[in-house]
Structure 1
Amino acid sequence: MMIILVRVKSRSENADEETAACLSPASTKTSAFDVSQPSIPRRTSDGVRCRLKRSIFIVLFKAKINLLLPCGPAAILLHHLTQKHGWVFILSLIGITPLAERLGYATEQLAYYTGPTVGGLLNATFGNATEMIISIYALKNGMIRVVQQSLLGSILSNMLLVLGCAFLAGGIVHHRKDQVFNKAAAVVNSGLLLMAVMGLMFPAVLHFTGSEVEYGKSEIALSRFSSCIMLVAYASYLFFQLKSHRSAYNPIEEVQEEGTTNDDPCEDEEPEISLWEAIVWLAILTVWISVLSGYLVDAIQGASESLNMPVAFISVILLPIVGNAAEHASAVMFAVKNKLDITLGVAIGSSTQISMFVIPFCVVIGWIMGKEMDLNFQLFETATLFLTVLVVAFLLQEGTANYFKGLMLILSYLIVAASFFVHKDPSKDDD
């Protein structure tokens, strides 16, 4: 009789343990003194199943922005069932937004395992993965101007809108004093951005002054040579930042107010998913963004006609806002936590990578594909980038930030957005 009671009790305990296993990953561990455990293969499969459910819940259901995920499949259905390119474009744009944010989250989780050096590089690379995928699809379809304008828009969005919102939010929260950041790192990034402007300016000036040795060929040859030089410069910058002068990029020790702590949020946080889960989610999200990017690029021209919007406005303003969703949220969050060095690394660092790596990389990829992708971004776009870099460089030279500087950057972005809303590409006859 005693034996039967013990067996009944152990079965009820096992049922409770199996229920708890789906709620907490720690409950999947077995005890060496539990003689009533089921067989090891069943226990292992239950643990894997529960861990898979937990990973899916964290990545796909935990964030509120994932409510927009059904817009992606809806865009694909509309593309095949109707010819409403405007709705296909809008739904694709909305559907990519949570994917870009989740891609940034998975990269952040992966950085916990790789360390700060490799993690910083992964954050910079996968943070711009959406722009790169959209650019490669557009380049494959011969939409060179869309590639140029979307990448230009990503730089403008990061430097004006993302950085402006971060400065504004951080300045409002910490309104009693100016926030400070590492001025030396900001100066290096400003110098790289000015070098990128120089690389974009010479092909445009060469074209519009009619001083080419061979019309149409010299600017492409110059663009390809300059792109290789810019890639070398960016590789040298990575070595400088991550290896030889790593100490120069350490955050400034800020004086804390009374009653506040000096805890680094990255020190107390722990990864929510494992290393291999982060790698698998990165692959899944990248593939899904690639699929939606194809439908998005195909619908751009039709959306421009149905929505009565210039293609330049769609490429420079709308596409980058979606691609920079992850950077935007991260930059504002770290600015509110008074971590402006990380904010600068997200916003200005992303602009530096796009200008010194993604744009030259697209030129080289176009060279391989046989597409005449060059660095001639036209005079209007090049002048806009040059003025933007100057404005941001002047605001960063003091090494301080406040809400007024953020407001100036946001208002400057509104001027840029309005300019591209009334701008159209000149025809070849006008050139």
Structure 2
Amino acid sequence: MRRLLHEIRHNPLLWLLVFVPLVFAAAQVWPEAHTLLFVLSVLAIVPLAALLSHATESVAAKTGDSVGGLLNATLGNLTELVIAITALRAGQIMLVKASVAGAIVTNTLFMLGASFLLGGLKHHVQEYNRTSARVQAGMLFLATIALLVPSAVSGADSAAAFNQQLSVGLGVLLITAYALGMLFSLKTHRELFASVEHAESGHEAPWPLGLALATLAGVTVLVALVSEVFVESVQQAAETFGMTPAFVGFIVVSLVGAAAEMATAFAAARKDRLDMSVGIALGSASQIALFVAPVLMLLSYVVGPAPMDLQFWPGAVVMILIATLTATLVTNSGRSAWFVGVLVLMVYLIFAMTLYLLPPRV
């Protein structure tokens, strides 16, 4: 605990933790002040993300970057899961689908591209394990096919009932594929996913494993609670700031939900630990596509007013497909430089600008 308090005292970014109790207090006192709650929740998530970053790096120092990246992706995706479940309970199925599709695209393009850019600005050329990246990209491509099929056959007779049955079957297949992928990468072929050795050394002393794990668990819960306040206020706040519903779900919710993972991925890239950055970005995207999306679909039968299917609007499926192909292309060599990050970020900015100016019809 002393290590944690010392870190908070000496890191000005963590002083923003004061906004965590403030956002909960404001939610109780001024529940209708949506714009205020939106700003406070974003400010509260930032320091929590920084804490999560430090704790995850400490765990990765004990377990290796590949496992550390997987752990961070898993805990980070709890935020997206809570945001989506909150929206499901409110019957905002379209917001759920937009946030899921946006999370996949944001992690694949924005997080990966920014990691390449930030790491490349400090290091001339960076290397990482391309086998791990290709496996994650392959899993993401499988999920893209599963999301493409319901949209492709949506014009069939009795489409509603058919899509529900098809979505359940696809969800089971995706969860099975994800479980087998974890078995492959963490058990049967673990040696293929070892981190690339880097010349840079002298990392900060990691926290004790017990403190790191406790911090990971506690901070993840706080991020999830703050995210509930965020999702309840984001729609009204979006109108105040002139943002469209499509832009909110696809871009804003995704960026805030992935804040914790981004903090870790960017810090790792700057320290020339690109294996961890790539593992978090692609691992999180494939985890959302193969696990979070089908789990949300199955949960909708329990917590939602109406069941959700896996039929996304065509524009979202196209963006996911392009993001997957982009990630596959840029990670094929196992090397990166800052300009590669610029190219990937440009693809993401094209999507963001399109959604801001011309939201898809749903």
- Paired with 2:74 and 2:97, the residues of 1 have a C-alpha distance of 19
**What residue number does 1:248 align with?**
192
Say whether 1:220 aligns with 2:155: no
| More displaced stretch, 113-122 vs 225-234 | 113-122
Contact 2:64 2:195 in 1 (8 A): no
List gaps (5 residues or longer) in structure 2.
none
1:58–1:203 Cα change, 3 Å: farther
- Paired with 1:384 and 1:124, the residues of 2 have a C-alpha distance of 21
**What residue number does 1:57 align with?**
5
Q: Secondary structure at the match of 1:375?
A: coil
- Paired with 2:213 and 2:272, the residues of 1 have a C-alpha distance of 30
**What residue number does 1:171 align with?**
120
Per-residue CA distance 1:54-83 (angstroms, 9 max, x = gap): 155146444332233233444344443363
**What residue number does 1:200 align with?**
147
- Paired with 2:329 and 2:65, the residues of 1 have a C-alpha distance of 29
Contact 1:159 1:351 in 2 (8 A): yes
Contact 1:150 1:320 in 2 (8 A): yes
**What residue number does 2:41 align with?**
92
**What residue number does 1:331 align with?**
265
- Paired with 1:181 and 1:166, the residues of 2 have a C-alpha distance of 12
- Structure 2 counterparts to residues 72-87 of structure 1, below 5 A: 72-79=20-27, 80-81=29-30, 83-87=32-36
Q: What is the aligned length?
A: 360
Per-residue CA distance 1:248-281 (angstroms, 9 max, x = gap): 1123456xxxxxxx3656xx65442451x44443
**What residue number does 1:231 align with?**
175
**What residue number does 2:277 align with?**
343
Q: What amino acid sits opposite 1:406 in the alignment?
A: G
- Paired with 1:413 and 1:356, the residues of 2 have a C-alpha distance of 21
Q: What amino acid sits opposite 1:374 in the alignment?
A: D
1:284–1:312 Cα change, 3 Å: same
Per-residue CA distance 1:65-115 (angstroms, 9 max, x = gap): 223323344434444336331222222122122223323433444556677
State which of 368, 388, 394 in structure 1 corresponds to 2:329: 394
Q: Secondary structure at the match of 2:160?
A: coil
Say whether 1:211 aligns with 2:145: no
Say whether 1:385 aligns with 2:320: yes
- Paired with 1:221 and 1:115, the residues of 2 have a C-alpha distance of 41
Contact 2:105 2:323 in 1 (8 A): yes
Per-residue CA distance 1:348-405 (angstroms, 9 max, x = gap): 1221111111111211222333541221121111111111111221122222211111
- Paired with 1:106 and 1:391, the residues of 2 have a C-alpha distance of 31
Q: Secondary structure at the match of 2:272?
A: coil
Contact 1:85 1:306 in 2 (8 A): no
- Structure 2 counterparts to residues 367-386 of structure 1, below 5 A: 367-370=301-304, 371-386=306-321
Say whether 1:307 aligns with 2:241: yes
Contact 1:103 1:126 in 2 (8 A): no
Greater helix fraction, Structure 1 or Structure 2 = 2
**What residue number does 2:225 align with?**
291
Per-residue CA distance 1:282-332 (angstroms, 9 max, x = gap): 443233333322221221221232222112212221222222223323323
**What residue number does 2:297 align with?**
363
Say whether 1:183 aligns with 2:117: no
State which of 120, 124, 139 in structure 1 corresponds to 2:88: 139
- Paired with 1:361 and 1:373, the residues of 2 have a C-alpha distance of 11
- Paired with 1:425 and 1:372, the residues of 2 have a C-alpha distance of 22
List gaps (5 residues or longer) in structure 1.
1-51, 255-261
- Paired with 1:140 and 1:131, the residues of 2 have a C-alpha distance of 14
- Paired with 1:134 and 1:59, the residues of 2 have a C-alpha distance of 29
Give percent identity, aligned residues only.
34
- Give me the TM-score of the superposition, normalised by structure 1: 0.76
